[in-house]
Chain A
Amino acid sequence: MADLSPIAAWRRLLAMPNESRTKTIVMAFLVSAVCAVLVSAATVILRPIQTANRAAEEQARIEALVAGIPGMSELLNSAGGSLSTVVIDLARGAAAGDVTPDTLGAALADPGNWTALDPAADIAELGQRPDYAQIFLLRDESDRISLVLLPVGGAGFNGRIDAIVALRGDMNTIAGMAVTRQSETPGLGARIEEPAWQAHFAGKQFADESGTVRFAVARGPASSSHEVDGITGATRTGNAITRIMRFWLGPDGYGPLIAAIRRGEF
């Protein structure tokens, strides 16, 4: 004679011997379900605050990156003390007229503004790339571009790596690099966050005379002006940085923009 009311079923469950198979499975399920709800709730409720924290940190890192480039603070002061923010259309390599930094978030929420990447070209393992990107520009007195900050990102060894690359006005010399997000192995890959390692980027030429992107994180000490020293024990993180830099500085990334700036069309 089965009593179907839930309270009675619950009592019957609690009364079962702990070793019974049903109770083992039901307990395992209940504990995981409650824990899953707890974890998901915490993540979802707290995400806006964490996003705001990260955005504030990214802003601070951009400022630190610019301040850390030799001669940049004077240039900034003479240029009015601030960077101008521009949203560009990546495919055309020109400013996106209809999308502003304020509406960029809304534009990127629309899947129509993303381009799926061909697996062969998708070396940074992004899957798809936004059509618009927000970059930061600094112009000198004669209105020529003296510094460009380009946000880059892609798959690392443990998770996504985001960084900002600063290019000098010749559009071939790297002025600096700052990692804004990473979850690499602490003590090994996570050392890409160390300013001492990021300092190697300054002064490197990312492309050769023919315009091919040659930048690489070396295995061991750097052997050419296109390479930076690798981090011991972090070969795969180094390879990820190489792929991310090559993708974003190449034709599917900021290539059109870089070419346009070199031609003086920006």
Chain B
Amino acid sequence: MTAPSPLWSTLTDPLVRQNPIMLQILGICSALAVTTSLATALTMAASLTAVLVLSAGIISLIRRHIPDSIRLIVQIVIVASLVIVIDQLLQAYLFEISRKLSVFVSLITTNCLVLGRTESYARLNPPLPSMLDALGNGLGYSLVLAVLGGLRELFGAGKLLGWQVLPLADQGGWFTPLNLMLLAPSAFFLLGGLVWALRTIRPEQAEPAEFTPPALGEGAE
């Protein structure tokens, strides 16, 4: 058995082992906000992946010539421009979905995942590994969004991608939708559950406790 090539592990590591949302807890605000249905979650995931890959490629191409003193501004400008272009494309060709995503596409600019990858990886590595790393991280983000969006749409409305999967009780079926699933807190619960499950399967992901609480009984004077 041969060891996997470094490029392959650059691409696949962020899917589960180093998943940006579940291990690094990056970019969760959008993950919570846009996952009420699978279609918006997938559009958001695709937009973020596109921005991530393109910005990683561009920044990696000019990485030797970015002056250190303005490197964050240069990265943000590139990311923000790509986000605007993607937003305009969505408004032109996916109008309905872009209305549902509203401000969250523009907020990709401030998604810590994007700047995190360009700052920590693309700035220091050649274009091909950078883009693969970005693609892997984008897919890792997409995986979590798709799972959350799928679960929330399935249990919140009994649908998947707009198709009625579970027959609703008020239309003669047996399924009573869980309205909680369509509210923001349910995304927290589901994400927490996912992180818990993943860290149970892979205990090495659990973080060490940051401090040990003092022993009881010696406190108040």
Q: CA–CA, A49 to B93, complex, Å? A: 8
Question: Does B88 sit at the interface, judged by CB under 8 A?
Answer: yes
In the complex, what residue of chain A is closest to B64 when comparing beta carbons?
A18
**Residues of chain B at the chain A interface (Cβ within 8 Å):** 62, 64-70, 73-74, 77-78, 80-82, 84-85, 88-89, 91-93, 95, 102-103
* 9 sampled A-B residue pairs with Cβ under 8 A: A18-B66, A19-B68, A19-B69, A24-B70, A31-B62, A32-B77, A42-B84, A42-B88, A42-B89
> Which 8 residue pairs spanning A and B have beta carbons closest together?
A35-B81, A49-B92, A24-B67, A46-B92, A53-B95, A42-B85, A42-B88, A18-B67
A31 and B88 contact, CB distance less than 8 A: no
**Residues of chain A at the chain B interface (Cβ within 8 Å):** 14, 18-20, 23-24, 27-28, 31-32, 35-36, 38-39, 42-43, 46, 49-50, 53, 57, 186, 190
Partner of A186, one of B80, B84, B103: B103
A50 and B91 contact, CB distance less than 8 A: yes
Q: CA–CA, A134 to B77, complex, Å? A: 41
B85 and A31 contact, CB distance less than 8 A: no
Which residues does chain B contribute within 8 Å of A19, judged by CB atoms?
67-69
Q: Chain A CB within 10 Å — which of B62, B68, B91, B93 has the most?
A: B91
B95 and A46 contact, CB distance less than 8 A: no
Which residues does chain B contribute within 8 Å of A50, judged by CB atoms?
88, 91-92, 95
A-B contact count (CB 8 A): 62
A18 and B65 contact, CB distance less than 8 A: yes
Q: CA–CA, A36 to B78, complex, Å? A: 10
Which residues does chain B contribute within 8 Å of A39, judged by CB atoms?
81, 84-85
Q: A23-B65, A53-B92 are in contact. List 5 more A-B contacts (CB 8 A).
A: A18-B67, A24-B69, A31-B77, A42-B84, A57-B95
Given the known interface contacts A28-B73, A38-B81, A53-B95, the answer about A46 and B88 at a Cβ–Cβ threshold of 8 Å is yes
In the complex, what residue of chain B is closest to A186 when comparing beta carbons?
B103
Q: CA–CA, A147 to B102, complex, Å? A: 33
A27 and B85 contact, CB distance less than 8 A: no
Which residues does chain A contribute within 8 Å of B68, judged by CB atoms?
18-19
Partner of B89, one of A14, A18, A36, A46: A46
Which residues does chain A contribute within 8 Å of B85, judged by CB atoms?
38-39, 42
Which residues does chain B contribute within 8 Å of A46, judged by CB atoms?
88-89, 91-92
A31 and B74 contact, CB distance less than 8 A: yes
CB of B105 to closest CB in A, whole Å: 12
Given the known interface contacts A42-B84, A42-B85, the answer about A27 and B65 at a Cβ–Cβ threshold of 8 Å is yes
Which residues does chain B contribute within 8 Å of A36, judged by CB atoms?
81
Q: CA–CA, A43 to B77, complex, Å? A: 17
In the complex, what residue of chain B is closest to A56 when comparing beta carbons?
B95
A31 and B67 contact, CB distance less than 8 A: no
Given the known interface contacts A31-B78, A57-B95, the answer about A23 and B67 at a Cβ–Cβ threshold of 8 Å is yes
Which residues does chain A contribute within 8 Å of B65, judged by CB atoms?
14, 18, 23, 27
Which residues does chain A contribute within 8 Å of B89, judged by CB atoms?
42, 46
Q: CA–CA, A186 to B66, complex, Å? A: 36
In the complex, what residue of chain A is closest to B87 when comparing beta carbons?
A42
Which residues does chain B contribute within 8 Å of A186, judged by CB atoms?
102-103
B66 and A27 contact, CB distance less than 8 A: yes
Q: CA–CA, A38 to B66, complex, Å? A: 19
Q: CA–CA, A196 to B84, complex, Å? A: 32
Partner of A28, one of B62, B70, B91, B103: B70
CB of B218 to closest CB in A, whole Å: 47
Which residues does chain B contribute within 8 Å of A38, judged by CB atoms?
81-82, 85
Given the known interface contacts A14-B65, A38-B85, A186-B103, the answer about A27 and B92 at a Cβ–Cβ threshold of 8 Å is no
Q: CA–CA, A190 to B82, complex, Å? A: 25
In the complex, what residue of chain A is closest to B81 when comparing beta carbons?
A35
Which residues does chain B contribute within 8 Å of A24, judged by CB atoms?
67, 69-70
Which residues does chain B contribute within 8 Å of A32, judged by CB atoms?
77
Q: CA–CA, A14 to B65, complex, Å? A: 7
CB of B163 to closest CB in A, whole Å: 23
A53 and B91 contact, CB distance less than 8 A: yes
Q: CA–CA, A59 to B221, complex, Å? A: 73
Q: CA–CA, A19 to B80, complex, Å? A: 24
Q: CA–CA, A27 to B103, complex, Å? A: 30
Q: CA–CA, A18 to B63, complex, Å? A: 10
Q: CA–CA, A46 to B66, complex, Å? A: 31
CB of A234 to closest CB in B, whole Å: 15
CB of B28 to closest CB in A, whole Å: 18
Q: CA–CA, A41 to B203, complex, Å? A: 49
